């Protein structure tokens, strides 16, 4: 059965000392809350993975990466492989974030390759999809999301598909303070779940958690998470403040 999940994407923020402060403050804050109904994932930049995974050993959260190479190990200067992540106790990895699609020209085919490499290492992919403002305004959002889902993840067999997480992040809502309404989120989440149902079956569709991302904060999280097909959130800005992040995680 799909789980409630809240994942924090720190993006390219914090230096080592600040990351140390933040993760310790998350660990302390977590002790004051009951988070048994939610899986919490922290996705720091690569250089801070070890720091975060050390703290996670005695705390109630998992560690995720923000990206992975689309190749196995070898001569790919500057890249980080799925097997490296596995060896750092990383259990989750974001793929296909809109910022990677926009600034690093990541395609649906790249996303598909990365998902395969992650699953081979038993790391759970968090695949991001979402439309731009222009695509929504020209009523292309369903088509865009269908293509991202079909090309990025529908090559998987059912047993692998149900190990994955999908995050719906409308590009116009990321970092803008302009959150999707709960109805807009529900509509797309239900659409994604229906695509999974049609491609696989209802059992698989019920196993895949679908997260919402885009200006999610402690004030709007509970109404978003109250929607039938919204299983949690992928949090950017608000995940950089321990209290806000944990309050969001406790919004189910």
Q: List the catalytic residues.
A: 97, 169
166: which 2 tokens?
Answer: 């999908």
To ligand 13P, the closest distance from the beta carbon of 93 in angstroms equals 12
Segment contacting ligand 13P (CB under 6 A): 19-27, 81-89, 187-195, 212-220? 212-220
To ligand 13P, the closest distance from the beta carbon of 74 in angstroms equals 29
Contacts with ligand 13P by CB under 6 A: the residue count is: 14
SS3 101: helix
Using the rule CB under 6 A, is 126 a contact of ligand 13P?
no
User: Nearer Cβ to ligand 13P, position 33 or 218?
Assistant: 218
Using the rule CB under 6 A, is 210 a contact of ligand 13P?
no
User: Nearer Cβ to ligand 13P, position 80 or 129?
Assistant: 129
Using only the alpha carbons of the chain, give its radius of gyration: 17
User: Nearer Cβ to ligand 13P, position 9 or 108?
Assistant: 9
C-alpha span between 13 and 23 (Å, rounded): 13
Using the rule CB under 6 A, is 6 a contact of ligand 13P?
no
Say which residue the tokens 């990895």 belong to.
93
110: which 2 tokens?
Answer: 């790249």
Judged by CB under 6 A, the residue of 111, 165, 216, 227 near ligand 13P is 216
The DSSP bridge pattern shows strands 92-95 and 62-65 to be: parallel
Backbone φ and ψ for 226, nearest 5 degrees, come out as: -75, -10
Using the rule CB under 6 A, is 174 a contact of ligand 13P?
yes
Segment contacting ligand 13P (CB under 6 A): 74-82, 100-108, 144-152, 209-217? 209-217
Q: Buried b / exposed e across 110-123, counting CB within 10 Å, b at 16+?
A: bbbbbbebbbebeb
143: which 2 tokens?
Answer: 């088509």
Using the rule CB under 6 A, is 234 a contact of ligand 13P?
yes
Determine whether 214 is exposed, middle or buried from the number of CB atoms within 10 Å of its CB (0-12, 13-18, 19+): buried
Using the rule CB under 6 A, is 232 a contact of ligand 13P?
no
173: which 2 tokens?
Answer: 């809502």
Judged by CB under 6 A, the residue of 148, 215, 220, 251 near ligand 13P is 215
Please answer whether residues 41 and 61 qualify as being in contact, where contact means their C-beta atoms are separated by less than 8 angstroms.
yes
Using the rule CB under 6 A, is 131 a contact of ligand 13P?
no
To ligand 13P, the closest distance from the beta carbon of 8 in angstroms equals 8
């Amino acid at each position: 059965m799909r789980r409630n999940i809240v994942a924090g994407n720190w993006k390219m923020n914090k230096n080592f000392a600040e990351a140390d402060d933040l993760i310790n403050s998350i660990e302390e804050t977590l002790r004051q809350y009951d988070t048994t109904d939610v899986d919490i994932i922290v996705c720091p930049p690569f250089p801070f993975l070890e720091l975060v995974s050390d703290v996670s050993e005695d705390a109630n959260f998992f560690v995720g990466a923000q990206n992975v190479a689309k190749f196995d190990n070898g001569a790919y200067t500057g890249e980080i492989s799925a097997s490296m992540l596995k060896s750092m106790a990383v259990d989750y990895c974001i793929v296909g974030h809109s910022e990677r699609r926009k600034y690093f020209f990541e395609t649906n085919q790249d996303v598909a390759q990365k998902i395969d490499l992650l699953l081979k290492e038993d790391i759970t992919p968090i695949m991001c999809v979402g439309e731009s403002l222009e695509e929504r305004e020209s009523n292309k959002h369903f088509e865009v999301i269908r293509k991202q889902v079909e090309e990025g993840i529908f090559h998987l067999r059912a047993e692998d598909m149900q190990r994955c997480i999908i995050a719906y992040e409308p590009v116009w809502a990321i970092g803008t303070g302009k959150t999707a309404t709960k109805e807009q989120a529900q509509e797309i989440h239900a659409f994604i779940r229906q695509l999974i149902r049609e491609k696989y079956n209802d059992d698989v569709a019920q196993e895949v958690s679908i997260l919402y991302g885009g200006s999610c904060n402690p004030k709007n999280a509970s109404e978003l998470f109250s929607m039938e097909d919204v299983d949690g959130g992928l949090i950017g800005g608000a995940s950089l403040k321990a209290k806000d992040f944990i309050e969001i995680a406790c919004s189910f």
